Structure 1
Amino acid sequence: MRKALGISRIYNILVYIFLYAPILVLIIFSFNDSKNRAVWSGFTLHWYVDLLHNDAIINAFIVTLGVSVLAALVATVFGTLAAIGFFSMRRKPRAFFMGVNNIPMTNADIITGVSLMLLFVFFTQILNDLVYFVGMQTGFWLPVDFHLGFITLLLAHITFDTPYVILSVLPCLRQLDKNLSEAAQDLGATPMQAFTKVVLPQLRPGIINGAIIAFTMSVDDFVISYFTAGADVSNLAMEVYSMARRHISPEINAISTILFTIVMILLIVINVRSIRQEQAEAKRLHALQRDASR
């Protein structure tokens, strides 16, 4: 028994080394003074300073931050409302729509990316043809040209972020006392007041977790962004890929370290919130059981 336990521990250690040793090496060499990736020449921060003078990186960072924040906000609103709608359905319709909701998460990113790209190209072509038709008929030409860009990138991120918000909010809905909203309305609150002042506060942990997950997924996405951003827009993941294709620069180590740190901090926040939520729920159930036993 002890021998099997020891082998299991060694196996787990080897797995963790295999997973995290490359990331650790990347982080260490992001502070290496030499461009040589095999020789340590001393500690430096100038690769991080160089990022501040790289216009392509700065623009990609602005695009990444803008898309991630906007996508997280919109997906949080849509996902919360959709979760409430799913929860209000009967069992079979709910199971059907939950299955549909799970498709973007289980589907390969490249399939989702190509599908969204074809959809956006189709609609942009229709809109451009409509603008051309209106111009031919009226002589008034609108100075617009619909194409893949920031808007299509944002719509794509909203599309794959929303299911994660739904899955984060649904557990809170299952724990919600259905009588709270009715009790608030019996006491004189309008349905909207009951929703905003009674229901939403109960859903806040799931909503916040869903928003953080959505933001993390957007910051980290490459494949779907690559197909839906077009030629004029690039996020950080795409910029790192472009730099790596040209040559492996120490700046890639620096920007990858920054991305890893951002994602890791957000994941820690999510896990801490989940643990605290579970502890609070356990305390609440324990208090109810104690009161019931009296």
Structure 2
Amino acid sequence: MFLPVSKTFRGIAAFGVAWLLLTGCDSGYDQTSPTADQLSAHLKVNVGVRRVGALSKSSTIVLNKLAILLVSSQNDTVLDVLTPSTTPALNPSPSTEQTLTKSYDLAPQRSWKLKAVTVDSRDSIVHADSVNIPFLNEGDNAEASLNLASRYSMYTARFLNIPDSIGTTTSGTVKVPLNINRLVLMVDGVIVADSSRSYFTPKSTVDLKFDYVTTGTAHTIRLLAYGPFKNWDATKPLFDGSAVYTATPGLDGSVSVTLYWVGPTSASGSMTVLVGKVGQVTVNGTFAPQ
């Protein structure tokens, strides 16, 4: 079966080919067969798909397809597409470590390159890698393995214990009522999650979630909390905090972020947010007014 080239795989310039996104294509594979007087070379392919890490976040990334492409030194091609309904089946959960194994009969007397990518339900490439396969003779039995690391993390900012009041700097132990009505998660200066309501229930936990943060690169995470407070400009945050975090593909981790009071100087307080699980990053923010 011939699988047409599609736009998403053109983004895989690192592979040196304009790839083919398999959106809308059936599963299965197409290949160049050995000639009648040749014995096939047999190749067993193992593709390990590593989990997508997360900073404490339930996954919204859903794996749709695993594409396996074999290209020979003489430009023969084998393209195979594995999905949750094929054998072997791709598990759509990004939090699952999995290895898919399949064998192919290849034209001999040439070397090959194995390339593999996973594509999610949003047509984004989540995993990608390649490996060279040495020269294969007639009747050879060879094996090749790839371990695909996730290109993304999934972040969750968890604001814990939303405060209902704030201490003052002018009246001793007197507390001033506080209504938080907007929470913001920023990554590298861009707002990626923004939650507003009339006000958040005091002492409650609020999660802001965002996917597709690249792994292996340092990102600045900034958290903001807003609300009406006396004559304070409501477009300015009351709490503000940031941290730099580098997500490692497939691993879980955490980092704490302290959100400091940046509202009127007549009040003071802080909040701690835990950013957890790489791949999934959970930011647990605990308001701790003083």
More helix as a share of residues: 1
More strand as a share of residues: 2
Instruction: Work out which structure has the larger RCO, using CA pairs closer than 8 Å and 6 or more positions apart in sequence.
Output: 1
TM-score by length of 2: 0.20
TM-score by length of 1: 0.20
